[in-house]
Every structure is written in structure tokens, then in C-alpha cells.
């Protein structure tokens, strides 16, 4: 089992560019989420999904879009990147009925 994988590991974007951060899991977990981590801020929830076709907003959803067409994948889209979106992004999953969070390795994004 690969667990939770994220690609890319590092990315540099220019302001206004778009990109998609990928998150994939092979554990058949229904719940998936995206967090961002900024220095001194802890992690903040961006969007989450409780199953294929179902997504909802977290604490800081502005500037990000998500969709969930399969159980395995939960991509995070930045439509027009801004310097304020410079951060480390973590994807996490939870087994249905469980509570243990499984975090991916993270994507470090810099927007110049």
C-alpha cells in the first residue's frame, strides 16, 4: 500500500497561473481533505470530501476548488495563484467510521 501520495513535492508558480495539486490514496477511505500550513499558523482546513461526488468548504476555502469523481483521488485546484497561497499543502484521509488521520507527505508551493 502506498497510503496517501501527493504530487508534485515542490512547485513554483507565477502570480495568476493555475495548477492542480494531486492527492491519491489506495486505502479506500471515504473522507479526504486538504490543509495548508503556514509558518506559525498550524494547519488550516481548506476543503474536504466525505465521498465521491460530495465536497464541502473548510476554514479557508477562498481561491481553491476541489472535486471528487473517484474514491481514490481528491485534486486541489488553484485557478489564479496569488502570493498569499505560498504554503505547504497536506492531504489527509480518514477511514469511514474511524478517526485516525493519514497525512500525505505534502506539497511545498511558492507563488512569486
Q: Is 50 a binder of another protein (CB under 8 A)?
A: yes
Interacting residue with another protein among 81, 94, 109, 111 (CB under 8 A): 94
DSSP state letter for 73: B
Triad 55, 61, 62: Cα angle to 5°: 130
Torsion sign across C-alpha atoms 85, 87, 93, 98: negative
Q: Is 58 a binder of another protein (CB under 8 A)?
A: yes
Joined together, the cell numbers standing for residue 30 give 471515504
Interacting residue with another protein among 8, 53, 83, 98 (CB under 8 A): 98
Give 85 or 93: the residue with its C-beta nearer to another protein.
93
- Judged by CB under 8 A, the stretch of 20-28, 63-71, 76-84, 89-97 that binds another protein is 89-97
Q: What's the rounded Cα separation, in Å, for the pair 15 and 109?
A: 12
Q: What's the rounded Cα separation, in Å, for the pair 55 and 16?
A: 25
Judged by the rule CB under 8 A, the positions of this chain that interact with another protein are 31-33, 35, 40-45, 48, 50, 56, 58-59, 90, 92-94, 97-101, 103-106
Amino acid at each position: 500500500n502506498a497510503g496517501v501520495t501527493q504530487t508534485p513535492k515542490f512547485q513554483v508558480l507565477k502570480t495568476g497561473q493555475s495548477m492542480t495539486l494531486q492527492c491519491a490514496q489506495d486505502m479506500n477511505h471515504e473522507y479526504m481533505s486538504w490543509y495548508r500550513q503556514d509558518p506559525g499558523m498550524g494547519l488550516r482546513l481548506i476543503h474536504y470530501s466525505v465521498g465521491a461526488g460530495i465536497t464541502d468548504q473548510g476554514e479557508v476555502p477562498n481561491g481553491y476548488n476541489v472535486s471528487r469523481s473517484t474514491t481514490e483521488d481528491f485534486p486541489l485546484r488553484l485557478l489564479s495563484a496569488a502570493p498569499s497561497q505560498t504554503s505547504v499543502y497536506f492531504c489527509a484521509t480518514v477511514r469511514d467510521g474511524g478517526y485516525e488521520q493519514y497525512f500525505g507527505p505534502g506539497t511545498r508551493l511558492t507563488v512569486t
